[in-house]
Amino acid sequence: MQDFSAPLPPADLLVNSSPLGMVGNPAYAPDLSALPGSATVYDIVYAPLETALLAAARARGLDCIDGLEMLIGQAALAFDIFFDAQPPREADAELRERLLAPA
């Protein structure tokens, strides 16, 4: 198993593209102190939407992108493949609101 406790290098972008942090998996919460204040943290996990990684990044005041961005992006690519047409990306914000609305 990979050791995720190793210190991070100073980077402008940190992307968690692993299942760590997803429901049923251990959290991914590395020490973010090496990241500059201008860094962006992108966690593609969408269940839960607010992961330990994003919570730690927000606590440091870093820019954050959650997994719903990836999910909507994948949906746009699937739309293009299935319908051979560009999806209405100007509706992404509305789609996000609908996905976050209580059932």
* Tens digits of pLDDT across the chain (103 residues): 456 667 899 999 999 999 999 999 999 989 999 999 999 999 999 999 999 999 999 999 999 999 999 999 999 999 999 999 999 999 999 999 999 999 8
The greatest distance separating any two alpha carbons of the chain, rounded to the nearest whole angstrom, comes to 45
Q: How many residues does the chain have?
A: 103
Note whether 43 and 16 are within 8 A (CB): yes
66 neighbors 54 (Cβ within 8 angstroms):
yes
pTM for the full predicted model: 0.86
pLDDT for the residue 3: 63
Please report, for the chain, the start and end positions of each structural domain, with discontinuous segments joined by +: 1-65, 69-103
Superfamily of domain 1-65: NAD(P)-binding Rossmann-like Domain (3.40.50.720)
Tokens of 93: 């914000």
- DSSP annotation of 35 reads S
The DSSP secondary-structure symbol of 7 reads: P
pLDDT at position 1? 47
pLDDT at 7: 85
